[in-house]
């Protein structure tokens, strides 16, 4: 049976991983290529590269980094950040990305999901949603979680899947950075309405949080995190062993 | 030298890089002469069966592949490239394949419980039916590989060398003589995937 996935997310700017990285024994801790290789060795099931650059020059530096990574790391790579058009899909897929994650680009142009899914297949299109509780419902937030779009998130996700999104990343703004565990209530609400893989993001602080996630919500397919992996608070190899010991099906 | 057949379907970047990583001499080509001179052939493929099969036929490379494999040259079809090795596919209609392996490609939805998600996507352990097959020289039972597919090879039981469990035993790898096929993506399956490619290079 298919295994639960553990996915580290790398924010890349100016060709470097931002958010401090703290690993003993890693030669260049902020090189996305070295870090990707390191995570792949540790048993990461997939990597997300998030492009947080703004200018065109920086963007081509990002695709260079992506290409170098894809030449050396042979696990699925997902790219997000600044994806607004089919040309953006094309640009990163040619450099070795397997999946492309859309967030603000889909809010600005909801047809993007439909057209991308038609051209590249549903499995290629990941809808990433920054969600937060507002007056008892979940709203979609834009601009890195700073702006309430007023869009009801569960309906937004349902529509995204109908249009061809093959996977949903649920980023809970409410639990992000708090390190008290994933947002199980929010994730459950999403799992109830979709039949595509759901990736939990935001809130993981320790290994136990992943165990709780997969035990409580068997429909969640993957757990994504950034800093707890980068800072070495959670070691991916240990995490996967722990999940296996807890009878959660993982790739060792 | 290994020829990766380029017939205008999908992105061959990762596949090319993965062979590079194991030090294999490879060429991505649509030139019949290059394929004829190669020691081994890789038939890749992503997307829809009908479209890919038509492109392969239009390129005329289907005939080259049939001739070369008839001579005993090892061939490995990957993902949709594996599906095209069969006699036919029922993906949106009925379409003819290369017929190198008896069997047909059918929707996964026909055989798995309704609550399972489609496509079958992610890492899944291999059950080796033919653990001594040359393709599995470096593999162990239960090694995980990466799948992305909505259709599977059926009616080919005699040729199945590995399966993966996803609500049903789905065909994961096949062999008929010098023709192999992998439903999963070795180029995205980490060390295990590279080990399969290495084994193919040594056949």
Q: Is residue A28's pLDDT more than 70? A: no
- Whether A87 sits among the annotated catalytic residues: the reply is no
Tell me what ipTM this predicted complex has: 0.90
Q: Is B10 on the interface with A (CB under 8 A)?
A: no
Q: What is the pLDDT of residue A231?
A: 83
Domains present along chain B, CATH in parentheses: 2-201 (3.40.50.880)
| Inter-chain contacts counted by CB atoms under 8 A, chains A and B | 74
Burial annotation B21-58 (CB, 10 A radius, 16+ → b, else e): beebebbbbeebebbeebebbbbbbbebbebbbebbee
- CA–CA dist B6, B11 (Å, integer): 9
Q: Is B123 on the interface with A (CB under 8 A)?
A: yes
B126: confidence class by pLDDT, cuts 50, 70, 90: very high
Q: Is the domain defined by A5-245 classed in CATH 3.40.50.2000?
A: no
Sign of the four-CA dihedral A48, A53, A56, A60 = negative
A149-180 residue pLDDT tens? 999 999 999 999 999 999 999 999 999 888 89
Contact state of A166 with B14 under an 8 Å Cβ cutoff: no
Q: Is residue A98's pLDDT more than 90? A: yes
pTM of the model: 0.93
Q: A214 - beta bridge partners?
A: none
Q: Is A218 on the interface with B (CB under 8 A)?
A: no
Contact state of B187 with A76 under an 8 Å Cβ cutoff: no
Q: Is A2 on the interface with B (CB under 8 A)?
A: yes
A chain contacts of residue B47, beta-carbon cutoff 8 Å: 121
B60-114 residue pLDDT tens? 999 999 999 999 999 999 999 999 999 999 998 999 999 999 999 999 999 999 9
B chain contacts of residue A221, beta-carbon cutoff 8 Å: 122
State phi, psi for B78 to the nearest 5 degrees. Answer: -120, 130
């Amino acid at each position: 049976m298919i295994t639960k996935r553990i996915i580290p997310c790398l924010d890349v700017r100016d060709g470097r991983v931002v958010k401090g990285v703290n690993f003993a024994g890693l030669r260049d801790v902020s090189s996305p290529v070295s870090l990707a290789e390191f995570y792949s060795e540790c048993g990461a099931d997939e990597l997300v590269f998030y492009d947080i650059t703004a200018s065109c020059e920086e963007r081509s530096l990002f695709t260079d980094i992506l290409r170098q990574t894809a030449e050396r790391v042979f696990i699925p790579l997902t790219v997000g950040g600044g994806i607004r058009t089919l040309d953006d899909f094309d640009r990163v897929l040619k450099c070795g990305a397997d999946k492309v994650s859309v967030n603000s680009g889909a809010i600005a142009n909801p047809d993007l999901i439909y057209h991308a899914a038609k051209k590249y297949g549903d499995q290629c299109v990941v809808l990433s949603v920054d969600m937060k509780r507002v007056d008892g419902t979940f709203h979609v937030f834009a601009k890195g979680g700073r702006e309430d779009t007023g869009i009801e998130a569960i309906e937004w996700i349902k529509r995204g899947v109908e249009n061809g999104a093959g996977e949903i990343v649920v980023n809970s703004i409410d639990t992000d950075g708090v390190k008290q565990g994933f947002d199980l209530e929010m994730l459950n609400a999403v799992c109830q309405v979709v039949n595509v893989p759901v990736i939990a993001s935001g809130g993981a602080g320790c290994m136990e949080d992943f165990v709780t996630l997969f035990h409580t919500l068997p429909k969640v397919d993957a757990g994504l995190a950034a800093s707890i992996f980068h800072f070495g608070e959670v070691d991916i190899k240990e995490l996967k062993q722990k999940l296996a010991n807890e009878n959660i099906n993982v790739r060792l | 030298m290994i020829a990766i057949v380029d017939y205008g379907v999908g992105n061959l970047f990762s596949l090319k890089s993965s062979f590079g990583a194991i030090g294999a001499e490879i060429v991505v080509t649509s030139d019949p002469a290059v394929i004829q001179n190669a020691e081994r052939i890789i038939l890749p493929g992503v997307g829809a069966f009908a479209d890919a099969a038509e492109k392969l036929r239009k390129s005329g490379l289907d005939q080259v592949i049939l001739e070369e494999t008839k001579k005993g040259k090892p061939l490995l079809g990957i993902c949709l490239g594996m599906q095209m090795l069969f006699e036919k596919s029922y993906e949106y209609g009925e379409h003819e394949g290369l017929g190198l392996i008896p069997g047909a490609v059918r929707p996964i939805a026909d055989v798995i419980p309704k609550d399972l998600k489609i496509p079958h996507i992610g890492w899944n352990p291999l059950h080796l039916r033919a653990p001594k097959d040359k393709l599995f020289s470096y593999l162990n039972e239960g090694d995980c590989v990466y799948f992305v597919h909505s259709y599977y090879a059926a009616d080919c039981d005699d040729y199945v060398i590995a399966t993966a469990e996803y609500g049903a035993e789905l065909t994961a790898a096949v062999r008929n003589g010098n023709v192999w096929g992998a439903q999963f993506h070795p180029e995205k399956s980490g060390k295990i995937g590279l080990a399969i490619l290495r084994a193919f290079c040594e056949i």
